[in-house]
Structure 1
Amino acid sequence: MRIHLSSDGVPIYQQIVDQIRNRIVTGGLDSGDELPAIRALAETLQVNPNTVARAYRELEVEGLVEKRRTTGTFVAELHERRSIAERRRMLEKHLDNLIIQSRHLGFSLDDVVELLRKRDSQITRDGERS
C-alpha cells in the first residue's frame, strides 16, 4: 500500500487515516481487504509503530476497518458505499480548515472558489494524461 507522507504540518497518523479512508470510500480498497500489518507499514513509512496503530484505531472507531484477533486489520463490510450525506460530513472538516486558513491569509471566498476551479481543471488535465 502506497502512502505519501508530507511535512505540511498535518500529523503523520492523520495523513495515514485520510489516505486509507479515501481509498475505502472511493472503492480503492474493498470490504475484506487486509491492511498491512502495523509493524510492516511503520517500517515502510519509517515511522513509529504507535503512529500506525493510532491511525488504525481511528479508522476502527469510524467503522471503516475491523481488527480480527490474531489475523490482522481488514476493511469493514460496508452496507453499500457511504451516502452522500456521510461523504459531505467527511469533507466538511477539510472545508472548515480551508476557509479558516484562507481567511488568515487574506483571501476572499471568491478567491478560494477561483483557486479551486483552477486546481480542479489542472488535476483533471493531469489525470487525463496518465
Structure 2
Amino acid sequence: MNNKELIKKVASLTVYHNWVETAPCLIAVFLDTKALDDKVPSIYLKHAQSIGAAIQNMLLAAHGLGLGTCWIGEILKNEDKVRELLAISDELQLMAVISVGYSSRSNLKSNRRDISEDIISWL
C-alpha cells in the first residue's frame, strides 16, 4: 500500500475525510502505555498534557514553515482501526492524528473574537 492509499484509509475513519484525504502527510501520535508508572499519582494526566504540548509545538512549527495543520481528535473513536491500519501494538494508545499540508486558500483569517473580549480578569 502506498502513502496515498494509506492516507485515504485513515481519512475514512474520521468525519473530516473529505479534506483529510487530500493531506500529503498525516502524523499519528501515540502514548506508550508501557511508560506509565502506576506508583506515580496522575501519571496518565502528566503524559497526556505532555503529548498535548508536543502536538501544539508541532502545529506552531509547521505554521512557521507556511504549512497548514489540523489536530484531529475526533478520530479517536476509531483508535483500534487506526492501529490496525498502521500495524501498531495495542500497548500504544492513539492520542491524535495531525494533518499537514498546504492550504488551498490563502490569507485565511479566523472569525474568532479577540482574546481580550473573553478575559474576565488577569491574575
TM-score by length of 1: 0.28
Q: Which has the higher helix share?
A: 1
Structure in which a larger fraction of residues adopt strand: 2
**More relative contact order in 1 or in 2 (CA 8 Å, sep 6+)?**
2
Q: Provide the TM-score with structure 2 as the length reference.
A: 0.29
